[in-house]
Amino acid sequence: MNFKPMMTSQELIDKMKNEKGIKFEYMSEEDAIIFLSERNNYFRIASYRKNYDKHISGVNAGKYINLDFAYLSELATIDMHLRLIIINMCLDIEHCLKVKLLSAITANSAEDGYDIVKVFLIKNPFVLRDIYHKRKSTYVEELIRYYFNFNEISDDSQLDYISKDDINCPVWAFMEIIGFGEFLRFYDFYYSEYPDKNNKITNGTLNAVKSLRNACAHNNCIIYNLRKSGTHPTREVTQFVSNIKNISNEERRSKLKIRPVFEITALICLYDKVAFDTVKSHRFQELSNLVNVRMVRNKDYFKNHQMICSVYNFLKKIVDFLA
Residue 109 exposure: Cα atoms within 13 Å on the Cβ side: 0
Q: How far apart are the first and last CA of the chain?
A: 49
Neighbours of 127 (CB within 10 A): 22
Q: Where are the beta strands (DSSP E) in 125-267?
A: none
pLDDT at position 261 over 80: yes
Res 154 pLDDT > 80: no
Predicted local confidence at residue 29, as pLDDT: 94
What mean pLDDT, rounded, does the chain reach?
A: 92
Query: What pLDDT digit, counting tens, does each position of 20-57 carry?
Result: 999 999 999 999 999 998 888 888 999 999 999 999 99
CA distances from 149 to 33, 66, 115, 163 (A): 56, 63, 16, 6
Tell me the average pLDDT across 276-301.
96
Average pLDDT over residues 141-155: 76
Model confidence, pTM: 0.92
**In contact, 265 and 256? CB cutoff 8 Å:** yes
Beta bridge partners of 162: 150
Give the tens place of pLDDT for each residue, 97-137: 999 999 999 999 999 999 999 999 989 988 988 888 888 88
- Between 132 and 151, the more confident residue is 132
How far apart CA 272 and CA 322 sit, in angstroms, is 8
CA angle in degrees (0–180, nearest 5) for 227-232-237: 105
Q: Does residue 236 have a pLDDT over 60? A: yes
Rounded average pLDDT over 240-267 = 97
Separation between Cα atoms, residue 314 and residue 262, nearest integer Å: 11
Considering only CA atoms, which of 260, 317, 291 is closest in space to residue 48?
260
User: In this predicted structure, what is the pLDDT of residue 104?
Assistant: 95
Q: Give the Cα separation of 90 and 87 in Å (integer).
A: 5
221: alpha, beta or left, given left = phi > 0 and alpha = psi -120 to 50? beta
Q: How far apart, in whole angstroms, are the C-alpha atoms of residue 86 and residue 93? A: 10
> What CA–CA distance (Å, rounded) separates 167 from 115?
9
Distance between CA atoms of residues 154 and 82, nearest Å: 44
For 35-120, where are the E strands, in sequence order? none
CA distance 66 to 51: 12
Positive or negative torsion for Cα 192, 197, 200, 205: positive
Cα 305 from chain centroid (whole Å):
25
How much is the pLDDT for 163? 64
Structure confidence at residue 223 as a pLDDT band (50, 70, 90) = very high
